[in-house]
């Protein structure tokens, strides 16, 4: 009865390269995906995880001693002896790691055909020891001085050069023992040292380290444990956490000191400027304004003494009285401006509210204030410009427009701030607002335009005769 075995039955691969029978009648099957043993109808699979050098098998052969020789494609030659795999590759003298066929002559010598030539092995000669050589760390040298006891060693911060001398114990072929090492805490991967028996490290950062070294015999069998030594490298005082914390605290203290010094200097400068403004305001009040008040009083007295006539002289007298009243209002406003500390001593919203409420005091106008957006401090020049625009707009509304209701809105946007002053006064022709026609408040509008432009913003005037006025100043933040 014919039976077919495939991967579904446990076969390593469906590509069967060779089959060999041992002395017990068991079949050994070489495939492209490992070695299989067929015993009593049951398949057992062996792969690289079990010790094979490569899973792709090309040829199989049992020698007279019952050892199974396995030729692989890419992994060299394997010998399964007493359940242990021994490997023969180019590192052990094979011409190539690709073995095509195996032949045995009359005296038991094995011949292996490879893609780069033939190899010969006499199984009766001593085989390769599968055990890896033990590893010993012979000494640790720090700055040309040998350390007597490296267990738990704490090196000084000034240590710069560290050497580890190690060796592998092998009596068969000591010159072919290979090493690899890793300094845990510094090296990310193993360092392949070949046959070199010294590892060098310089200028290591402070910290805890563990030096680990392993060795392999001539057959490529690596030790699993190897040898290791742990040590520490103390930091300099300027590499410690408390030093970094101290530097951070000193930097913050210095920054705070510079900030407080700058604030104190600005306050001192502001106090000097405010004192000078107060002095100028006092001088103007005691000289110019008092003189204008005196002249106005004289003209009022003269006007009361003269009968109302249509003569040109009486008309000139009334115009002089009116001009003096305007000049007196402007002078008083200028004095109040000099005395007002504006937004430099208080936030813009508060300064704006106090300004418009003072201007509207003793007038029938009702003031409505509204502030939207997230309020924040602006550049001093911008705050001063907005305050002066609001002052001029409200003064015009209560003095010239006869407004009954005035609404002041201040809106803070992400990149700009907008001031809006609207009233229900008599209004005017906004298209002619900047033309000189003898009307005093038009000069104020020109000044508002200039203040907004000086801060990189713009002013919009919306007004129609009989329908009130709205002035909008928008400045960039």
Q: Are residues 203 and 226 in the same domain?
A: yes
Task: Tell whether 450 is covered by a domain.
Answer: yes
pLDDT band of residue 441 (cuts 50, 70, 90) is very low
pTM of the model: 0.35
Task: Tell whether 411 is covered by a domain.
Answer: yes
In tens, the pLDDT along 462-474 reads 988 888 999 999 9
pLDDT above 90 (res 383): no
| Other CB atoms within 10 Å distance of the CB of residue 44 | 13
445 touches 434 (CB < 8 A): yes
84 touches 129 (CB < 8 A): no
Q: Give me the pLDDT at residue 130, please.
A: 55
Q: Are residues 352 and 431 in the same domain?
A: yes
Work out the mean pLDDT of the chain and round it to a whole number: 81
384 touches 473 (CB < 8 A): no
Q: Is 371 exposed, middle or buried (0-12, 13-18, 19+ CB in 10 A)?
A: middle
Task: Tell whether 167 is covered by a domain.
Answer: yes
Q: Are residues 462 and 358 in the same domain?
A: yes
Reduce the DSSP state of residue 118 to 3 states and report it.
strand
**Number of domains within the chain:** 4
Q: Which residues contact 410 (CB under 8 A, 6 or more apart)?
A: 348, 349, 352, 369, 370, 371, 372, 386, 417, 418, 419, 420
Task: Tell whether 128 is covered by a domain.
Answer: no
Compute the CA torsion angle 146, 150, 155, 160 (nearest 10 deg): 50
**Per-residue b or e along 445-477, where b marks 16 or more CB atoms closer than 10 Å to that residue's CB:** beebbebbeebebebebebeeeebbbbbbbbee
pLDDT above 50 (res 338): yes
- Lowest-confidence segment of 75-84, 235-244, 291-300, 358-367 by average pLDDT: 291-300
Structural domain ending residue among the three candidates 236, 251, 273: 236
| Other CB atoms within 10 Å distance of the CB of residue 15 | 12
Q: Sort strands 42-46 and 34-39 into parallel, antiparallel or unpaired.
A: antiparallel
Structural domain ending residue among the three candidates 315, 339, 363: 339
Per-range mean pLDDT, top range of 38-52, 123-137, 338-352, 403-417: 403-417
351 touches 343 (CB < 8 A): yes
| Other CB atoms within 10 Å distance of the CB of residue 383 | 22
Q: Which helix (H) or strand (E) holds 348?
A: helix 348-360
CA distance 99 to 59: 8
Reduce the DSSP state of residue 210 to 3 states and report it.
strand
Give mean pLDDT, residues 54-69: 90
pLDDT band of residue 172 (cuts 50, 70, 90) is low
Structural domain ending residue among the three candidates 86, 121, 156: 121
281 touches 338 (CB < 8 A): yes
pLDDT band of residue 171 (cuts 50, 70, 90) is low
Give mean pLDDT, residues 353-370: 84
Q: Are residues 351 and 476 in the same domain?
A: yes
Q: Sort strands 469-476 and 16-21 into parallel, antiparallel or unpaired.
A: unpaired
Task: Tell whether 40 is covered by a domain.
Answer: yes
Task: Tell whether 126 is covered by a domain.
Answer: no
Give mean pLDDT, residues 49-61: 90
In tens, the pLDDT along 88-139 reads 888 777 888 888 898 888 877 888 888 888 877 766 554 544 567 888 888 8
Q: Which residues contact 310 (CB under 8 A, 6 or more apart)?
A: none
Q: Which helix (H) or strand (E) holds 229?
A: strand 227-233
Task: Tell whether 403 is covered by a domain.
Answer: yes
pLDDT above 70 (res 262): yes
Segments forming the whole domain that contains residue 315: 240-339
CA distance 449 to 130: 96
Q: Are residues 22 and 82 in the same domain?
A: yes
Task: Tell whether 161 is covered by a domain.
Answer: yes
CA distance 348 to 373: 13
């Amino acid at each position: 009865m014919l039976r077919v075995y495939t991967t579904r039955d446990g076969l390593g691969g469906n590509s069967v390269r060779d089959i060999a029978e041992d002395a017990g009648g068991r079949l050994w099957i070489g495939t492209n995906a490992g070695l299989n043993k067929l015993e009593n109808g049951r398949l057992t699979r062996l792969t690289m995880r079990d010790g094979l050098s490569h899973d792709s098998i090309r040829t199989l052969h049992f020698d007279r001693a019952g050892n199974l020789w396995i030729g692989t494609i890419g992994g060299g030659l394997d010998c399964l002896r007493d359940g242990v795999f021994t490997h023969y590759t180019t590192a052990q003298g094979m011409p190539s790691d690709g073995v095509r066929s195996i032949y045995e002559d009359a005296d038991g010598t094995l011949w292996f055909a490879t893609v780069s030539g033939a190899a010969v092995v006499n199984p009766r000669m001593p085989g390769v020891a599968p055990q890896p050589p033990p590893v010993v760390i012979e000494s640790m040298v720090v700055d040309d001085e040998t350390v007597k006891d490296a267990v738990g060693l704490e090196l000084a911060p000034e240590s710069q050069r560290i050497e580890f001398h190690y060796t592998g114990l092998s009596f068969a072929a000591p010159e072919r023992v290979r090493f690899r090492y890793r300094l845990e805490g510094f090296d990310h991967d193993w360092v392949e040292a070949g046959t070199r028996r010294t590892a060098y490290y310089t200028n290591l950062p402070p910290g805890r380290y563990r030096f680990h070294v392993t060795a392999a015999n001539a057959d490529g069998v690596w030790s699993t444990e190897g040898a290791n030594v742990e040590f520490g490298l103390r930091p300099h005082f300027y590499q410690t956490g408390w030093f970094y914390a101290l530097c951070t605290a000193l930097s913050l203290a210095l920054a705070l000191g510079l900030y407080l010094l700058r604030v104190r200097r600005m306050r001192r400068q502001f106090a000097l400027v405010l004192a000078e403004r107060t002095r100028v305001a006092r001088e103007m009040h005691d000289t110019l304004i008092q003189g204008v008040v005196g002249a106005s009083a004289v003209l009022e007295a003269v006007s009361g003494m003269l009968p109302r006539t249509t003569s040109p002289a009486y008309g000139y007298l009334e115009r002089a009285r009116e001009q003096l009243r305007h000049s007196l209002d402007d002078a008083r406003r200028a004095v109040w401006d000099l005395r007002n500390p504006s937004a430099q001593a208080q936030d813009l919203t508060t300064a704006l509210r106090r300004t418009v409420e003072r201007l509207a005091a003793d007038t029938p106008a009702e003031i409505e204030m509204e502030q939207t957006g997230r309020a924040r401090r602006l550049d001093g020049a911008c705050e001063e410009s907005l305050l002066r625009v609001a002052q001029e707009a409200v003064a015009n509304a209560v003095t010239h427009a006869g407004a009954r209701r005035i609404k002041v809105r201040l809106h803070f946007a992400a990149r700009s701030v907008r001031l809006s002053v609207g009233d229900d006064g008599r209004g005017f022709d906004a298209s002619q607002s900047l033309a000189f026609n003898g009307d005093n408040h038009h000069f104020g509008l020109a000044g508002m335009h200039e203040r907004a432009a000086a801060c990189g913003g713009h002013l919009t005037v919306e007004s129609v005769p009989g329908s009130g006025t709205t002035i909008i100043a928008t400045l960039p933040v």
